[in-house]
Structure 1
Amino acid sequence: MSDIFATDSRTNAAEFTVSEISGALKRAVEDQFGNVRVRGEISGYRGPHSSGHAYFALKDDRSRLEAVIWKGTMGRLKFRPEEGMEVIASGKLTTYPGSSKYQIVIDNLEPAGAGALMALLEERRRKLAAEGLFDADRKQLLPFMPRVIGVVTSPTGAVIRDIIHRITDRFPVHVIVWPVRVQGETTGVEVSNAVAGFNALDPLGPIPQPDILIVARGGGSLEDLWGFNDEAVVRAVAESHIPVISAVGHETDWTLIDHAADVRAPTPTGAAELAVPVRAELEATVSRLSARLKGCISRHADRKRQALRAAARALPSPDQLLAMPRRRFDEAASRLTRALDASTEAKRLRFKGVRLSPATLERRLSDLGRRVRRDGERLPGLFENIARRARARFDRDAGRVTPAALSRRIEASRQSLRALERQADRSLDVGVERRQARLHRSDIRLRIEPIIERVRGRRQRLDQASRLLDSVSYQSILKRGFALVTDASGDIVRRAEGIARGDGLSIEFADGKISAVVAGGEPPRPKPRPRDKPATEQGDLF
């Protein structure tokens, strides 16, 4: 049997090792498919490996091709691979001897046409919109006059120059630029880090936190602007507590950051115009409002002044206001003298009607003594009545109690009766003492106080009469600067027509009298015989 097997193993076919077969296949595949473009859908993509390489597969409806992107190539790709994305991969085919598989080593990766990119963009937009990142209630209002503006863009492009130039022309403020790449694979990461970095700045730190952020880039194709459709950028802009203005591309270009931003500007220059007002317009507005305010104040003052004048014309004059009070004052002054005389006479008559004598006082004291004695005589009878009623109640209740209780009740009644008798005695003594003390005070008051009150009243009336005499005396008139002129016979001179030249006069002032001789006037004429004046006119002053 061993011979049979030996015979079967001897053939003319060449013998290869596994490595030789794998190497031959590798060379054949690489020579035949040195550079290929493969269209397919990405499957099994889980992101870069810890080594930086990415492993996944390209498939269609019938076949599957393994693919690998090396770490160095991964950083140069414009698009990051995503699961389910249809792409066109450029590279070379090779084999992996360790698992007897063939694969494509990708050098370049691009979407399979604009339609695929738009489909991916629309799918991502729906996903983020479902999370509420594009809701209108999340939008923030832009501050009217920001102090610091942060710009996220390329520091070498024309965009930053246009923004700075436009801000300087309209309203110069402090501008902080965070440099980023605006095209390429790292755009999304750098822009999201820039937005988060601006939000992390301390408002009081050496680099102040901006009041507005502008994310700007110039125009380009969908592929050029793809970095601003990155999910990380959209989330960073939506979570920013600083208002964000999106100014990516031209007016017809739309990216996902435009939906997440608080305001979308059609161009970077338009973003600068939205961020700051026009200083000249503000100054003109302030001047116009100031002029309106001054005019309003002037017109208001004029209206108030006219209203005041109208009210002043409607008000009575001071003479009219004081006319009635002045008249009432004059009438009261004229009635004062008569009222004082009448009051004095009434008080005199009432005083005369009062008759105070020792007999009257003795009569009052006798009446009070009789009242005290009468009350003292009534007290014993009162207490006897109380004791009699207590004995009657005791007799009434005697038949309804036991002998022991009766004894106790009799003893208690006796004690109460004795206490009542003692209280009656004390009350009688106290009442008599109080009556005697009150009678003594009344005696003193009746004897002394009427005399004191009478003296006090007469002193007050004397003072009132003295003040009245001073007020109507002609000496008080002389103290006010007047003088009393009398002729040689002592009559009061009231008119100048009765005085002739050479007549002697006596002039009385407040501090004394002087004699005078008339130097002018009519020639002397015989004086009429003096006639006697009634006694009531000797003291007239007027």
Structure 2
Amino acid sequence: MPESMTMPAAEKLTNTPELTVSELSSALKRTVEDTYGHVRVRGEISGFRGPHSSGHCYFALKDETAKIEAVIWKGVHSRMRFKPQEGLEVIATGKLTTYPGSSKYQIVIEAIEPAGVGALMALMEERKRKLGAEGLFDEARKQLLPWLPEVIGVVTSPTGAVIRDILHRLQDRFPRRVLVWPVKVQGEGSAEQVAAAIRGFNALPEGGSIPRPDLLIVARGGGSLEDLWSFNEEIVVRAAAESMIPLISAVGHETDITLIDFAADKRAPTPTAAAEMAVPVRSELFVEVTALARRTMICWQRSQEGRRNELRAAARALPGAAELLAIPRQRLDSATGALPRGLKANTNAHHRRFSQASAGLTLKVLRGQVAQARQRLTVSGERIRLSTRALLRHRRDRFAGLEVRLKTSKLANAQAQRNAIARDRERAQRLAERARRALLTAMQRLEARVAHSGQLLSALSYRGVLARGFALVRDAHGQPLHAAASVGPNAHLTIEFADGRVGATADSDRPPASSAPDSAPKPAPREAKTMAAKRVVKPIDQGSLF
């Protein structure tokens, strides 16, 4: 009974077709890709560690109960405006496929976007914390705005109302020179253009053909969070933080907050407010300068009057000239009385020192000093003689070594020159042989060309036509005739054949040639020669030439 039950199962297994692992994996891959060729998946990014060394991105999308592997190819990732980040909830668009190497299925993502405004706000807060930790938002690094900039650079769209509002406000308050760097303020590539504009203004040299701005304004009108997202990109925030030119951020309305506002040196609630921050009011400056000038004049006058009063009081308190010179005059009289005694005492002191010095200068002392000097001179001469001999011996040895080296170098140089001359001679011979062969080849080519040109000349020459039985008719001046109308009565003609020329006279009683209309096409030169030869009428006594 058991054997009868197992037989159908064995037969069934025998009838099932056999598949290799690769065939089964390919069949599963085609099934999955045909069924799920285009899907949109919502989930949280997990396991994202940035692009791989190859440029591709590998991570997973998960929710509460499931997880699916995901991959973004290098070219797609480079074109994405929104980049994936760890822990962010996104909506991914792509197609499902399988990876036979590990028997798993995965989604190949072609586009990715955050799952709603909440995700964008979470991403913005995460990016704000990251950049803030790097110190890009510190108040200590923010620059002061110039009080009255000469040139103002504006980074905005040239077609929007923002640039007009800024220009009108500057014109009303204090006209300044404005340089506009046109950029996209929304959509793909706008963040890169804004960052490039900020860095471009900073790269302008001082005193160049294009003036370097003293103040930058990055402006855009209001919009949704998605519309203003370009100003939350990391590249824009870093460019604003690195700007050496003071920068005002004027993106959106007063309630709109972007990350560039934290990196900028000053935030304006609107583009118009940014223009008001950039320059003061000129009329108010005129009033303030006038008031300051008046106050300065009043202070100067008061100061001069006070100094004049102090000078008068000091002049009244000063003593007379006689009182000031009384004590110095008395000291001068005392010094004059003590001067003779001081001179005598000084003379006696110098005389005593001179006597002591002369007592030490005896003949014996002088002889001893001369002997010591002579001994020192003798010792020094002997030392100089020994030093001179040693120096000469050292120089002689050195020159001998140099002579040996010079001879060796001379022989080596001569041998090298001989080798170089031999190589040059061999090379000259090779070049001469090549030149000879090249000259022979060129002469053969020229001879072939001349022969070919001669054949072509023979083929195109009119003498070939004459050899085929045609004739060329010329007038008395030797000019070819192309029409019978140009031949007058009794005209002297010359008929050229292939083997020579024959003189002829035109018949005087031939019928007149009818004038051809002006619109008739002119015959070709070769046909005209042939027709002229055929229309010539020979004298009766000569017979027919044809």
TM-score, length-scaled by structure 1 = 0.50
Structure with bigger gyration radius? 1
